[in-house]
Amino acid sequence: MGQRVGHAVSPGGARVAYAVSGAGPPLVYVNGWLSHLELSWALPAERGFYEALSEGRRLIRYDKPGCGLSTPAASPEHSLAHELDALRAVLDATGIDQFDLMGISSGAAVAAAWAAQHPASVSKLVLYGGWAYGPDVASPEIQTHVLGLVRQHWGLASGLLGDVFAPDADGPTRAAFTRYQREAASAETAAAMLLTAYRIDVLDLLGGIAAPTLVVHRERDRAAPIEQGRRLADGIPDARFVVIPGRSHLPYVGDAEPLIREIRRFLGLPIRRRGALPSLTARQREVAGLIAAGCTNREIGERLGIAERSAEAHVERIRLRMDFRSRSQIAAWYVATGGAN
């Protein structure tokens, strides 16, 4: 299963990158805090989650302005209105007017707001790990501390937040996610987007949601307490609230199968066929490791005792086999797997 990347233009002038995978009725996916369409496709756990959602659906994901492959808007401001503008731009570019909608983390509030304001467009709504009122997600002291840490020590903050968002991740996955956050956004952008997540308030909109809604939350989520998920579900007419085991906020970390089963069942999809992710040969893994170390094709050839053209051919075969577009994706995959298939 491959992913195709396109671009839309938001009202604020941002070039919003979006990715499409799978086939079937559209499922539009609103990410949480940070995302990177290319790097997320390189991390096996995250890619596996998206492929599970893409089986039987045309999954459409996007990077918010200033994040991942998307360029910043003319104004550096981040708000719910700007989030909704980016979503609208992607919908216009893909030409869909009715779809299932899924939002995770702070993206749950964005998805809920869209569903309330555009009820005819949303067939079914799925919200995971979300909240309706950002000021209650953490105490003011914790919010101030985290925002200050992101602004002043982005490298340290990305590591600490990895522990909060993904406590069940293995060492390589956590290392890859830490690096992923820093490559997804600058410290300034990351802080501005986090501030929006802390300030977001859609409580008054929840009652206007008409679409059948599934709200899922992990019982020991360390980033978004379960009370926030319950409050979100309570505000939506006839919403179904499901608690699943786990403590990781990221949907693809820990045991993702209970979450995948709940989502697919709610969307009316059959139990998925669990296909194997693509793998590399021993020599290709060796080449991937050298790419992760920052080597050029010439340096790879010198290290392995092969011609530069042969090294280039190895890189191209890796790219095609893994459905990657860049060397940075190869490097991210290698870090996330520790070089193992």
**Helices and strands, counts by H and E, the chain:** 14, 8
One-letter identity of residue 277: L
Which stretches of the chain score pLDDT less than 50? none
For domain 282-337, say whether CATH 1.10.10.10 is its number.
Answer: yes
Tens of pLDDT, residue by residue over 101-123, are 999 999 999 999 999 999 999 99
Q: What is the mean pLDDT of the chain?
A: 93
Q: pLDDT at position 1, please?
A: 67
**Helix, coil or strand: residue 322:** helix
CA dist 334 and 288 (Å) reads 6
CB neighbours of 168 closer than 8 A, spacing ≥ 6?
246, 247, 248, 253, 254
**Structure-block tokens of residue 18:** 């979006």
What letters, b where the CB count within 10 A reaches 16 and e where it falls short, cover 64-102? bbbbbbbbbbeeeebebebbbbbbbbbbebbeeeebbbb
Q: pLDDT at position 341, please?
A: 62
CB neighbours of 43 closer than 8 A, spacing ≥ 6?
173, 176, 177, 180, 332, 333, 336
CB neighbours of 110 closer than 8 A, spacing ≥ 6?
30, 80, 83, 84, 87, 103, 200
Per CATH, 3-266 and 282-337 having the same topology is answered no
Q: pLDDT at position 312, please?
A: 94
CA dist 109 and 224 (Å) reads 13
Domain locations along the chain: 3-266, 282-337
Model pTM? 0.90
Q: pLDDT at position 340, please?
A: 67
CB 34 within 8 A of CB 186: no
Tens of pLDDT, residue by residue over 160-212, are 888 889 999 888 888 888 888 999 999 999 999 999 999 999 999 999 999 99
Please choose, from the candidates 164, 179, 158, the residue with its C-alpha nearest in 3D space to the C-alpha of residue 218.
164
**Residues 295, 297, 299, 303, CA torsion sign:** positive
What would be the CATH architecture of the domain defined by 3-266?
A: 3-Layer(aba) Sandwich (3.40)
